[in-house]
Structure 1
Amino acid sequence: MKLLVLGGSVFLSKAVAADAVRRGHDVTCANRGTSGSGSVPEGAQPVKWDRAEPAPTDLADDFDAVVDVGRYPSSTRSAVAALPNAHWVFVSTVNVYSDESTPGGRPGTLPLREPLHEDVDLSVDLEAYGPMKVACEQIVRDGSASATVIRPGLIVGPGDPSGRFTYWPARMADGGSVLAPGRPDDSTQVIDVHDLATWIVTAAESRLVGDYDGVGHATTMVDVLTAVAEGCDAEVELTWVPQEFLTEQGVEPWAGPDSLPLWLPRPAYDGMTAHDATPSYDAGLVTRPVADTARETLAWLQATPDAKVTGMSRERESEVLAAWRDR
């Protein structure tokens, strides 16, 4: 297969390119050369392309498949127009769903946000992310020969530039009393970057058609945090602190310097972390245990001093735990 990866130098797109190379495919990675420049996987052919400009002459429309992780409609529009004859695998997001509170949703059962066809700077308006992805999905379906749309939730594992899941292997490795947010049975859902990448390449090979959620099995916070501790061979005690108290203490959910990653307010986000992944597994998705992902993530952290980890400091965690015990 002759595969074009739009990106190929960072996290998921890089994992896709690496997996395709391992399978013996002819892989080209096209990007602007400004993010992870020169770091496409060995065996992949790099091509510089700013999608605000016409496609370079060495990107002829003869690719069997294209993988696109883009978020801006103008970029997806220009790429589809330049490469309409390929099978497209577009990596979208569960943020396209307007209903984030209903557990058990899957493509076709949940309403989508209204598409936003213009580019919006996400540093100014983060809420534009989902609507822009809806527009990108439409562009791909309307303009390509055939298409797979995959909507991931939280992608985790080595190389994660967000540092969200990474917080937990780093924290568990330190041992001791760990602040665990919310309730043990709160839902959560993650997918290993390598498992998602493998499935994306398979979808490109088979020209899979349809919309799918790129999520692992829905599980609980206690199961995930216990698995992370197991994968990190860590001796910890989980201290569960209700979301009401965390909010009173100014702890942020999901991401940020004073956050507890994976934690989302309930019941507003009960559905965002509890999608029904059955159609995806039926379509070939295979996922590894969370403990394995945690082990590999910790090894990557230890080998990568500048790896990003987002979340509250140990000092701040101790303060919140002390306040909870003294309440």
Structure 2
Amino acid sequence: MTDVLILGGTGWLSGRIARRWVDEGAAVTCLGRGSRPAPEGAVLVRGDREDADVYADLSRRDWDHVVDVSSHAVRVERAVDALGDRAGRWTYVSSVSVYSDDETVGADESTPRHPAASPADAYDYGAQKAAAEDAVMRLGERGFIVRPGLIVGDGDPSDRFGYWAAAFARASSEPVLLPPLEGSSAQVIDVDDLAAYIVTATRSGVVNGVGDEHPLADVLGAVRLAAGHTGSVFVADEGWLRAHDVEYWAGPRSLPLWLPTEMSGFMTRSNRAFHASGGRLRPLTDTIERVVADERSRGVDRERHAGLTRAEERALLSDR
């Protein structure tokens, strides 16, 4: 039986990874603070990764596979120092945010990264992920780094992809505000497809764990169809959105999936290595249907971490 240690295992992605490992018949241990349960069939070891002795018991045994998703480089470095010699394989879930080039279309894993963060630096997500990668790379052939882009699916806590399911569903027959579509792409990966890849991949090195590239217009059109929206749409241009203080990508008062022109390559990364190493992607329509159902279940008018409120959207549409 494969002994797997997941540093986390109770969050959205790490929990899906833990569940997939359990389904594959592995003995799964999750290290977490205990604020959320581990998936059924996994063992939860309570511990805070800020504590100096958190790995004391875990480092007394060998692990066939260790998985880490942390976005804090110091935590990853401490884990590698404490457990690296006891791990047969180590997978680190990084991010395409490590890349310093967001303009080149179709860029692969050789694209230059941001400089790795040092302890004295202010927190920067991409730089933290780069420094964490460096720690895992010290393990040589035992280390594997997966760089996802936008991860989507039911239960997504970021609210980015799900925003569009909610926006179309809540509007029903009323208008919906869309970002610029011409020349824009969307590239997402289903959380369960990513979890399956992390569990089954056997290679080392670095792979972009990203989905296939689709025209943004097609993706939003598919979400609109699944949500049953029958109203009109207003496609705004970038200048108009900026003039009306609408943010891109994420956060309050934003239009998720919209990226400015200087980031035209961000959602067009090459996934050739992903496919060549066994990565499989379900039809995007299947993911969309699941996300629409999930948004309806959680409430399309709930408070969100990303997107416009319906009141904000109506105000913007009245000023077009």
The TM-score normalised by the length of structure 2 is 0.91
Aligned to 2:254: 259
**Kindly tell me: are residues 142 and 299 of structure 1, through their superposed partners in 2, closer, same or farther at Cα, counting changes over 3 Å?**
same
TM-superposed CA distance for 1:310, in Å, is: 2.2
Distance 1:119 1:6, change over 3 A: farther
Structure 1 residue 43: Cα displacement: 0.4
Instruction: Give the equivalent residue in structure 2 for 1:271.
Output: 265
Question: How far off its partner does 1:152 sit?
Answer: 0.9
Distance 2:288 2:231 in 1: 15
What is the letter of the counterpart of residue 167 of structure 1? Y
Q: In the alignment, what sits opposite 2:194?
A: 196
Name the CA distance, whole Å, in 1 between partners of 2:240 and 2:178.
12
Hey, what does 2:8 align to over in structure 1? 7
For 1:3 and 1:287, how far apart are their aligned partners in 2? 24
Alignment partner, residue 101 of structure 1? 103
1:287 is the counterpart of 2:281: yes
Pairing 1:222–2:224 present: no
Give 1:1-327 correspondences, 5 Å limit: 1-33=2-34, 37-52=35-50, 53-54=52-53, 55-58=55-58, 60-84=60-84, 85-108=87-110, 110-118=111-119, 122=123, 128-143=124-139, 146-174=142-170, 175=172, 176-203=174-201, 206=202, 208-266=203-261, 268-304=262-298, 308=304, 310-324=306-320
TM-fit CA distance, 1:235: 3.0
Contact 1:140-1:147 within 8 A present in 2 as well: yes
Counterpart-to-counterpart distance in 2, 1:164 and 1:216: 16
Distance, in Å, in 2 between the alignment partners of 1:121 and 1:19 is 35
Question: Over the residues paired in the alignment, what is the CA RMSD in angstroms?
Answer: 1.9
Q: Closer, same or farther in 2 for the Cα pair 1:7/1:164, shift >3 Å?
A: same
Task: Kindly tell me the number of residue pairs found equivalent between the two proteins.
Answer: 311
Distance 1:119 1:302, change over 3 A: farther
Partner Cα separation in structure 2 for residue 218 and residue 103 of structure 1:
10
- Deviation of 1:137 (Å): 0.5
Once residues 161 and 274 of structure 1 are traced to their aligned partners in structure 2, the CA distance between those partners, rounded to angstroms, is: 23
Distance 2:310 2:283 in 1: 27
Structure 2 portions without partners, runs of 5+: none
SS, match of residue 9 in structure 1:
coil
Question: CA separation in 2, counterparts of 1:86 and 1:239?
Answer: 53
Name the CA distance, whole Å, in 2 between partners of 1:193 and 1:48: 25
Q: Distance in 1 between matches of 2:13 and 2:40?
A: 16
Deviation readout 1:17-49 (Å, 9 max, x if unpaired): 01111111111111222xxx2421100100112
What SS does structure 1 have at the residue aligned with 2:78? helix
Q: For residues 223 and 74 of structure 1, what CA distance do their matches in structure 2 show?
A: 41
Give 1:259 deviation, angstroms: 0.7
1:144 Cα deviation (Å)?
6.1
> For the Cα contact (< 8 Å) 1:301–1:307, is it kept in 2?
no
How has the CA–CA distance of structure 1 residues 164 and 117 changed in structure 2, closer, same or farther, with 3 Å as cutoff? same
Per-residue deviation, residues 185-212 of structure 1 (Å, max 9, x unmatched):
3122111111111111112xx3x21211
Runs of 5+ consecutive residues of structure 1 not aligned to the other structure: 123-127
Instruction: Using the TM superposition, give the Cα deviation of residue 220 of structure 1 relative to its aligned residue in structure 2, in angstroms.
Output: 1.5
What letter is aligned with 1:87? R
Q: Name which of structure 1's ranges 313-322 and 54-63 shifts more when overlaid on structure 2.
A: 54-63
Equivalent residues of 1:231, 1:295 under 8 A apart:
yes
Aligned to 1:125: none
Distance 2:6 2:197 in 1: 14
**Between the two proteins, what is the percent identity of the paired residues?**
37
Which amino acid counterpart does residue 7 of structure 1 have in structure 2?
A: G
Cα distance in 2 between the residues matched to 1:222 and 1:190: 14
CA deviation profile, 1:63-95 (whole Å, cap 9, x unmatched): 101110011121111111222133111000111
Cα distance in 1 between the residues matched to 2:105 and 2:196: 26
